[in-house]
Structure 1
């Protein structure tokens, strides 16, 4: 208990009132906490400002410190705001001004600062006596119509001046610039957003009051930070939009560059919001010193006035993609922010979702437009009243002049006018103050025109006040003007996670050609970029490569599918087709190590296209069949490859001196054929290969006689499918189709039978494919030349023949890759510009004038 001696009456009477200390503290603390919540820490839902921000902008406006006037010293503005409206320390006012002038702190700057206002490295701003400020245009748009009684005013702290309770902003500032603050028992953290997107969302809300959050998200896509970056994952953002509370993960942006010496380096050029660049620089250096991240040789800051540039030099053996992931994991290059939309609504704190926040702004703007229109109507009616008095006086000009001349005092004249002509006191006073020049003929006409115009305006204003639809249209028009003046492009990218992305809504489904070069460069190109040619044609450039590089793998898949990449060391990696960078047909592509974490001494050997790894029935009834160059074969259930891992998994244990060659997807009911370089092939049922785990070695599939011989390919054909034939291609461009039944079924592990007659003219066997007449064939040479032809143009021949010429090549050239296209395309694509000149006289042999007819096929010869 404590003694309360504050009451003077009690003191006079000598009485002491005992009060419970717990209740006294509780009451006092609640009063204090509400003062902090309402008067300091939380923004208003209407204009998005805390009192200090509002007072700074209002004080600068009262000083006439607008964008088209000279700068004023920050100290003068701070003193004015502090002395008139904000009775707190000068540091709180100046810190607020500084933040509103920093381009890395605010999405849309409200103050135009001149001088040192700090840096993203955490440098302090100069003292207020050195810096100068003035309002930005967008801040003035938040103060428009303040003089038209659009908002309520309240007395300042000493009751000598008035300040606005809220600013009549046309900008949805709460969501555009965001807000953060810690009150007593609660906090707020509202993310900044893109103004153009907010205007689109407000338009949609005005047009449809019952709009859903999902429909609003089509317009207001996600937060948009002043420092850019990448929003990594959308689920937390969506939760924040729906409930007012969520979590957004933001990553910095990194580019990789290669120096002339061939060394890789990473460039960080955008940071997550509110991350200190200098601290991040020190953190990365510390991670390198502590050997948490290995593979970095140097970190330096090359930022200048042209932009941010934090450079990380990599060691030669380092894999860029691995280093990037480690930076995201261990440093502030990836940061999460909690969305907590706590705002003041009619003086009370509330958690609000996206729709409620936008609705609150629309309601506020409707109130502002209504009050502004009412004010303009009152002023117009006052003006019309005076003009009506002028018109009466002009109609009786001689009598009015005589009455005024004969009056001894202005009061007598005013009374005379009111009595004689039925004028009001206001009209009579205005007539007495009328300048003589207004009585000329021209001026009298102007008064009549002005009266007619003001009556039209009054009619329009009354129409607006009587029609809510018109008021809403005014709000939309003003918002459209805001978007035109101040709207800009989104700075922060949105990167959806695979689990939450509705790919069909974002990426068009189309067939693409995926090419991988010998040195490991990958790209995807639309299948239509490759025109079909006749057998024996010369082909077209399929990709620009280095002198020592050539296209080694060529594959066709849908953009919605998942690719399984198998390397020669027996590892499996996953990649969505849409994640493969798109390139022109003649471009080199991107190093595959930047996309998946393949060691530098390993390379892609086989690719499998899977439509949906989440389809349980499919993955439990299909198998991956693998074969090696030394003739080993292995079968594993697809389900074991259905859980992608960043660093890949072991698909097969490869013996020393051997390499994984091929991987095929089967349904368990196929027949397997393997072919070797010397021209032999073997056919046996898939069921003779039992399925094993991913780490197994496998069993012998075909016997390889000597060290120079090796397996060149494997096909898996459904034994019920009678439409498929076996296509073999030799190194010098010869090939043929043969009925699969010409290859007798033998035991697994045998020598097989002849599949092509290998001569010096044909060169050794290099590919075996299973095809139908509806397929196309695509052949790529080491020189980069690519040809596409219809399988139907290649006639069937016996096992022991050498086949026909499929492509004409230079003597020094060889075939690098052969691929089957599952659907024949129309001949609608022409060669890229300049390509026809490069390959003039070589091509389709049709009547289009591209080239003369293709070479006549050579006669089949028996072995």
Structure 2
């Protein structure tokens, strides 16, 4: 049988196309799937809304149902939305409207509802004819400036009207309110977040486009659910943010109240989207079925002020067992994160950074288009005002010309011919009233014209300068944060038994060496056995030609290293992240561990287990400037580093110590002088400050190092010179002075000793690590170094070659067995 179809009489044969049924079904299904994906089920990454949400808000906007208007029957809003924009049934529209009004479903509800809109117990909302709605104030921010050609419009379903393809969205709504939906073959489940945190992250990304997900998590530690509760496990959050997919354990908040008649477990917050009524029923079923023993009573005492479910235990019941059983069965739920959204109409699974990037791109477009719209209006207004001012300059002649004209058209033509008015200007002048010719009116027009010209200049700057555009976006985001920002509701804890990288690293003493070309490594301290002073030491690093040791310092593997550079930046690194290598290895480039700029070198490192918020980082520069900055200012050090201090040209950071507002500072110079003064002589300053002068240096002298001591401290000050000589002297021999003095003579430098390499505070029992620039390292008990007075030459600490010199010394106290 022929597959050719006969050509009907009176028709053209090539209008009929023969296709295989399988091919047609496949293509039709793909078209249907994409229609559902793009038209109904998935949110747009730019405004975080599905079409039904967007259409409801736009219908309310068009009807004037704003936060300042009265509430309107929900049925009226549903009818307008369905009739004009969303022909998919009133129940689907009303269900969406209800959810946008529920404060237990939306982190920041977009609809202000009046009436019964359901409950956390799963109670349904009243029928739409009984409830009333209007936009919440924050919803208006999604529509702000929509009338200024900020977004594209498209025809509605029957081509009668136009609707926005996306809303301008002055807030990052996709992350803030989240979204969930099921499409054909895919689904999305974006968790809600705290608006203040998301905006802080967006602003940081705006200023630092190369920021990583880890950097952004300094601002957004995790989702923030409207029902509060607790997320268990930080690793799962990081995975979800880095890959766009993850599974979060969300646990109910509860407290245990101890009572003589039996303890009580009181639930105060439930996991997101958990039905409270069903949870209580499930606990009751467990008790009745014998799966949960020890429960005497179960009551739901929740009210409008919050969740309160009381579980009373029997006298003598093991509270820990009941608690664990509840956690295993009902008090934890899994929230599956799928950050799937439409990007340019195509579904994509997005990381935290990608979602913020797409949102910021959208805001750039919105602000640019708004500025272009406002600029066109301002230029039009300036053009009219220029015509009015010109007419006022020739007021009598203009009035006479209009009076002598046959009609308005003739008057406009005469004005255009006589004064070179444009058609718009002539039209406006002809319509002017005589009252506009007063001097007061002229002053007002001139003032308005100046304002309009300034606005034009500002708008042109925004459009021409990318940095100005960024500042506008930043200031508008900051304004949204100040208006709508609130405290986080969901807490985040480590998972029980969750193994972190640090848990797998044994705590041990190590020596970390750093060369001038920023090669870094760590070596177990056991590799360096204690010796007598005056020895040459052993090889501590096989340096490349032209390189030399800059510093070597002891640490413990779990210590945090704050790495300060000559450019005034500070970076953070865990000691165990420094690769462990053999004693003679060269090390790895610090660029592999820290995002250093090409011409940036590390000049000071502080190793610490923990820094309290009431402590300070006290920094000293080569030219004698000292600065104290609160440790709290360094809590959020990004992988790209942050500014630690501002340096003048030619100056560089030499040394950093931790102080506590009760310490005294001792600064030593290369010329052998030392000054001691209270740290409170230096007021606390911000990270970007330069500091004040700590010591008045002699010409040609420079700072060698700094240490912190207590006012009553009578330990020793150890001073070591570049030629390997040194001494320790009682701190009581260094009287306290005012800062910016010349100090006291500490050690004789001269030809034998050479300039001072560094100084440190030491106690009996400490060990001294001395290292030379060529890589020789020696370790000795501090008692090996003689205790003598000030202004002496000292004794040989480490024998260095004529072509070598001492790079510095570090102090450590060997770890005890209980600390290991």
TM range (shorter): 0.5 to 0.7
* Equivalent position SS for 2:369: helix
Shift of 1:398: 0.8
Within 5 Å, give how 1:93-492 maps onto structure 2: 93-259=93-259, 262-331=261-330, 333-492=331-490
Which structure 1 residue ranges, 5 or more long, are not aligned?
505-559, 562-610, 612-772, 775-821, 823-863
Within 5 Å, give how 1:691-702 maps onto structure 2: none
* Equivalent position SS for 1:471: helix
Alpha-carbon contact 2:118-2:124 (below 8 Å) kept: yes
Alpha-carbon contact 1:176-1:192 (below 8 Å) kept: yes
**Bigger radius of gyration:** 1
Within 5 Å, give how 1:55-70 maps onto structure 2: 55-70=55-70
Alpha-carbon contact 1:246-1:339 (below 8 Å) kept: yes
Aligned CA distance change for structure 1 residues 178 and 301 (closer, same or farther; 3 Å): same
Q: Alpha-carbon deviations, 1:662-701, whole Å to 9, x = none?
A: xxxxxxxxxxxxxxxxxxxxxxxxxxxxxxxxxxxxxxxx
1:25 — aligned with what? 25
Q: Alpha-carbon deviations, 1:225-284, whole Å to 9, x = none?
A: 00000101111111010011111110001112244x532111111100000001111111
Q: Alpha-carbon deviations, 1:21-69, whole Å to 9, x = none?
A: 1111111111100100100001001001000000111111111111111
Aligned CA distance change for structure 1 residues 148 and 282 (closer, same or farther; 3 Å): same
Looking at structure 1, the residues matched to 2 and 355 of structure 2 have their Cα atoms a distance apart, in angstroms, of: 46
Shift of 1:435: 2.5
* Equivalent position SS for 2:317: coil
Aligned CA distance change for structure 1 residues 412 and 31 (closer, same or farther; 3 Å): same
Q: Alpha-carbon deviations, 1:118-139, whole Å to 9, x = none?
A: 1111101000000000111100
Alpha-carbon contact 1:4-1:19 (below 8 Å) kept: no
Alpha-carbon contact 2:178-2:193 (below 8 Å) kept: yes
Shift of 1:17: 5.7
1:777 — aligned with what? none
Q: Alpha-carbon deviations, 1:274-303, whole Å to 9, x = none?
A: 000011111111111111111112222111
2:591 — aligned with what? none
Shift of 1:341: 0.9
Aligned CA distance change for structure 1 residues 345 and 446 (closer, same or farther; 3 Å): same
Aligned CA distance change for structure 1 residues 445 and 351 (closer, same or farther; 3 Å): same
Alpha-carbon contact 2:262-2:317 (below 8 Å) kept: no
Normalising by structure 1, we get a TM-score of 0.57
Q: Alpha-carbon deviations, 1:289-348, whole Å to 9, x = none?
A: 1111111122221111221111111111222222121111112x2001111111111111
Looking at structure 2, the residues matched to 145 and 168 of structure 1 have their Cα atoms a distance apart, in angstroms, of: 7
Shift of 1:19: 2.9
Aligned CA distance change for structure 1 residues 17 and 195 (closer, same or farther; 3 Å): closer
Looking at structure 1, the residues matched to 77 and 200 of structure 2 have their Cα atoms a distance apart, in angstroms, of: 36
Shift of 1:14: 12
Looking at structure 2, the residues matched to 218 and 250 of structure 1 have their Cα atoms a distance apart, in angstroms, of: 21
Looking at structure 1, the residues matched to 7 and 70 of structure 2 have their Cα atoms a distance apart, in angstroms, of: 55
Which structure 2 residue ranges, 5 or more long, are not aligned?
504-557, 560-608, 610-763, 766-815
Looking at structure 1, the residues matched to 164 and 5 of structure 2 have their Cα atoms a distance apart, in angstroms, of: 39
Shift of 1:190: 0.6
1:540 — aligned with what? none
Shift of 1:502: 7.7
Alpha-carbon contact 1:328-1:334 (below 8 Å) kept: yes
Shift of 1:15: 10
Alpha-carbon contact 2:7-2:13 (below 8 Å) kept: no
Within 5 Å, give how 1:655-694 maps onto structure 2: none
**RMSD over aligned Cα atoms:** 2.7
Looking at structure 1, the residues matched to 295 and 4 of structure 2 have their Cα atoms a distance apart, in angstroms, of: 69
Aligned CA distance change for structure 1 residues 7 and 272 (closer, same or farther; 3 Å): farther
Alpha-carbon contact 1:10-1:16 (below 8 Å) kept: no
Looking at structure 2, the residues matched to 404 and 254 of structure 1 have their Cα atoms a distance apart, in angstroms, of: 83
Shift of 1:396: 0.7
Alpha-carbon contact 2:168-2:366 (below 8 Å) kept: yes
Aligned CA distance change for structure 1 residues 496 and 15 (closer, same or farther; 3 Å): closer
* Equivalent position SS for 1:44: coil
Aligned CA distance change for structure 1 residues 403 and 183 (closer, same or farther; 3 Å): same
Q: Alpha-carbon deviations, 1:408-437, whole Å to 9, x = none?
A: 111111111110100000000011122222
Looking at structure 2, the residues matched to 307 and 475 of structure 1 have their Cα atoms a distance apart, in angstroms, of: 37
Looking at structure 2, the residues matched to 80 and 59 of structure 1 have their Cα atoms a distance apart, in angstroms, of: 6
Alpha-carbon contact 2:261-2:314 (below 8 Å) kept: no
* Equivalent position SS for 1:358: helix
Structure 1 range deviating more: 282-291 or 15-24: 15-24
Looking at structure 2, the residues matched to 495 and 228 of structure 1 have their Cα atoms a distance apart, in angstroms, of: 13
Looking at structure 2, the residues matched to 141 and 149 of structure 1 have their Cα atoms a distance apart, in angstroms, of: 16
Aligned CA distance change for structure 1 residues 13 and 214 (closer, same or farther; 3 Å): closer
Looking at structure 1, the residues matched to 498 and 456 of structure 2 have their Cα atoms a distance apart, in angstroms, of: 59
* Equivalent position SS for 1:133: strand
Alpha-carbon contact 2:262-2:316 (below 8 Å) kept: no
* Equivalent position SS for 1:124: coil
Alpha-carbon contact 2:250-2:332 (below 8 Å) kept: yes
Looking at structure 2, the residues matched to 384 and 38 of structure 1 have their Cα atoms a distance apart, in angstroms, of: 43
Looking at structure 1, the residues matched to 402 and 3 of structure 2 have their Cα atoms a distance apart, in angstroms, of: 76
Alpha-carbon contact 2:143-2:167 (below 8 Å) kept: yes
Looking at structure 2, the residues matched to 374 and 165 of structure 1 have their Cα atoms a distance apart, in angstroms, of: 19
* Equivalent position SS for 1:79: helix
Within 5 Å, give how 1:489-638 maps onto structure 2: 489-497=487-495, 498-500=497-499
Aligned residue-pair number? 510
Aligned CA distance change for structure 1 residues 216 and 397 (closer, same or farther; 3 Å): same
Aligned CA distance change for structure 1 residues 458 and 298 (closer, same or farther; 3 Å): same
Looking at structure 1, the residues matched to 4 and 361 of structure 2 have their Cα atoms a distance apart, in angstroms, of: 47
Looking at structure 2, the residues matched to 262 and 463 of structure 1 have their Cα atoms a distance apart, in angstroms, of: 73
Runs of 4+ in 1 over 4 A off after TM superposition: 1-18, 500-504
Alpha-carbon contact 1:73-1:129 (below 8 Å) kept: yes
Aligned CA distance change for structure 1 residues 475 and 213 (closer, same or farther; 3 Å): same
Aligned CA distance change for structure 1 residues 427 and 329 (closer, same or farther; 3 Å): same
2:81 — aligned with what? 81
* Equivalent position SS for 1:189: strand
Alpha-carbon contact 1:252-1:334 (below 8 Å) kept: yes
Q: Alpha-carbon deviations, 1:571-613, whole Å to 9, x = none?
A: xxxxxxxxxxxxxxxxxxxxxxxxxxxxxxxxxxxxxxxx9xx
Looking at structure 2, the residues matched to 135 and 460 of structure 1 have their Cα atoms a distance apart, in angstroms, of: 32
* Equivalent position SS for 1:100: helix
Shift of 1:493: 0.6
Shift of 1:470: 0.7
Aligned CA distance change for structure 1 residues 334 and 5 (closer, same or farther; 3 Å): farther
Aligned CA distance change for structure 1 residues 3 and 195 (closer, same or farther; 3 Å): farther
Q: Alpha-carbon deviations, 1:513-557, whole Å to 9, x = none?
A: xxxxxxxxxxxxxxxxxxxxxxxxxxxxxxxxxxxxxxxxxxxxx
2:587 — aligned with what? none
